[in-house]
């Protein structure tokens, strides 16, 4: 259930990203606005897919469906692509500081936990 709530938080973040953009943050700078405007379309697709796979994977875990493993693995890959591109292809760390990597690291860690949990449940025969 906690992983489903985590996935729903991802959906809320996704909504704010698309509906409100950087204006959601009262401390948004010109850099934030410029970075947001320059994001490639494919990165937004990866973001939607990562959140969707994570949430649906968590739901699949709750209903004990073995699809949880594949969806959790896809979420890990997609989140890694999303944040990997952000940190390697932009200057966000140089401009904002290394602390900008902390929450994405937490997101990847939670998705890795979900994948581990789903794989373990499958290995124990708990998923059908």
The two structure tokens encoding residue 103: 């929450």
Count of CA atoms in the C-beta half-sphere (13 A) of 27: 1
Rg (CA), the chain: 16
DSSP state of 20: I
Average predicted confidence (pLDDT) for the chain: 95
5-52: pLDDT as tens digits:
999 999 999 999 999 888 888 888 999 999 999 999 999 999 999 999
What are the residues whose beta carbons fall under 8 Å from the beta carbon of 48, sequence distance 6 or more? 14
Six token digits for residue 93: 């760390």
Could you tell me the residue ranges of all domains in the chain?
2-123
């Amino acid at each position: 259930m906690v992983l489903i709530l985590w996935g729903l938080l991802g959906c809320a973040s996704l909504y704010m990203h698309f509906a409100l953009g950087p204006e959601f943050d009262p401390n948004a700078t010109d850099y934030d606005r410029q970075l947001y405007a320059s994001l490639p379309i494919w990165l937004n697709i990866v973001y939607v897919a990562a959140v969707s796979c994570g949430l649906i994977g968590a739901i699949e875990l709750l209903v004990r469906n073995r699809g949880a493993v594949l969806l959790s693995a896809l979420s890990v890959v997609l989140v890694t692509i999303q944040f990997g591109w952000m940190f390697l292809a932009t200057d966000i760390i140089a401009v904002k500081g290394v602390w900008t990597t902390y929450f994405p690291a937490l997101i990847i860690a939670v998705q890795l936990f979900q994948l581990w949990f789903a794989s373990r449940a499958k290995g124990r025969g708990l998923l059908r």
